Structure 1
């Protein structure tokens, strides 16, 4: 079975990059982080269904989960959407889901870090609690949405041997550290992003530069011009849930092709 994890999808440019890469779908199961997919902030019902129709089978999120007002009322209707599990249990939505794929159980867990992000419950303890509920034969993938590389790395070594794949998201810059940190635990600090190549984390650079210089808030808008990039990684698993091969994916699509 071949699986694909897609880094943070940023706005229309990111969605175009995903469509381009998946135009010849060669994967049995696809997971994507979608918290920036609607104009860079959150997700809408329209975008959710667009990405699902593109071929994404499980969608994870992060600190921008609730940026669109409609999410609160619709999240329980989005059957493949997973929000961070270590948020308040009073919030709607699920923090993990188990998918049946080709006679296998694939458990996708979403966690959010606590360093430099808003207050949440401990992701380490939350993982421990969830892990007790997961069937023994499930293949476990964790999207750890965190700001600090140290926190993501620490979680990787904490969950190795239990989680089969631990992928960091949120910082939008793909790290060159995709590796096995246990006999069957694949780890990467950040999967990168899908969006405009010449941008600041997928956003137009001008207003962000002004923000850094003046410290005055500016409205950030998704960059829609120029080349677009696709970042993620793929891997295969055998009948015993053993990861047999894996590779980083980083592709650039010229503007004229889009």
Structure 2
């Protein structure tokens, strides 16, 4: 008898060189242990904490990512505006206004199932984009015949993330939050069968300020003056979640945190 469950591994925001090196070291180990059917990685901070490039996207795929998601830093590296169209299985938030390069959702075949992966961005304390709630409705209406639906919701406010989870409860297999780089302890399956967590965390330096060197961050807070954040070094946290989904119903059975540490 075939396995009645589909497993999706999501790895949180990869931050800088230390995050990339940790992903390359630990992701193959985690995949060998848990054997996910699909692996999605958020790579929007891979370029020294500021965006992504085509070369680094390839590096993340070589580490084991099947699909890459992003967020509000997707355009930080200006060359990526031209590169993103040529990147396979890479998403930017769907709710950018019409005309933005790239795509915000895709359907990928994995372990015999059609999996819809969508990437949306919140609006509270974030750059103004189109309504992510109605954008999600639009995506779902356009893809009625998929088996599994996964969403990376890249947002700042916990209230907006929780509201978004309830909005898709029973309609998506999983909604995971990204952006704050701080993992939350509220992972669970909502009553309608949607796995949810407010923020998965990051693959980035532990002794930092959300991945940035703590001294440079402190200078900004203490002086009030602009100061570019630099990526920190040292022990790196690897934050991820494994979602187990019923092949029959597309509803989540469980969501578990998989957290590791690695010294770069």
TM-score range relative to shorter protein? over 0.9
In structure 2, the residue matched to 1:239 is 247
CA distance in 1, matches of 2:258, 2:22: 12
* Aligned pairs (5 A) from 1:107-256: 107-224=116-233, 226-240=234-248, 241-253=250-262, 255=263
In structure 1, the residue matched to 2:114 is 105
In structure 2, the residue matched to 1:72 is 81
Q: CA deviation at 1:228?
A: 1.1
CA distance in 2, matches of 1:126, 1:242: 21
CA distance in 2, matches of 1:183, 1:122: 23
Q: Structure 1 regions of 5+ residues with no counterpart?
A: none
Q: Structure 2 regions of 5+ residues with no counterpart?
A: 1-5
Using structure 2 for the length normalisation, give the TM-score.
0.93
CA distance in 2, matches of 1:213, 1:84: 33
Task: Output one character per residue of 1:127-152: Cα deviation in whole Å (capped at 9) or x when no partner.
Answer: 11111011333311111100100000
Using structure 1 for the length normalisation, give the TM-score.
0.95
CA distance in 2, matches of 1:59, 1:15: 13
Q: RMSD over aligned Cα, in angstroms?
A: 1.2
In structure 2, the residue matched to 1:60 is 69
Q: CA deviation at 1:95?
A: 0.7
Q: CA deviation at 1:182?
A: 2.4
1:23 aligns with 2:35: no
Q: Contact conserved, 2:194 with 2:251, CA < 8 A, in 1?
A: no
Runs of 4+ in 1 over 6 A off after TM superposition: none
Q: CA deviation at 1:235?
A: 2.1
In structure 2, the residue matched to 1:46 is 55
Q: Which of these residues, 24, 46, 51, is aligned with residue 37 of structure 1?
A: 46
Q: Which of these residues, 14, 36, 61, is aligned with residue 19 of structure 2?
A: 14
CA distance in 2, matches of 1:203, 1:151: 25
Task: Output one character per residue of 1:54-78: Cα deviation in whole Å (capped at 9) or x when no partner.
Answer: 1101111111010111111111111
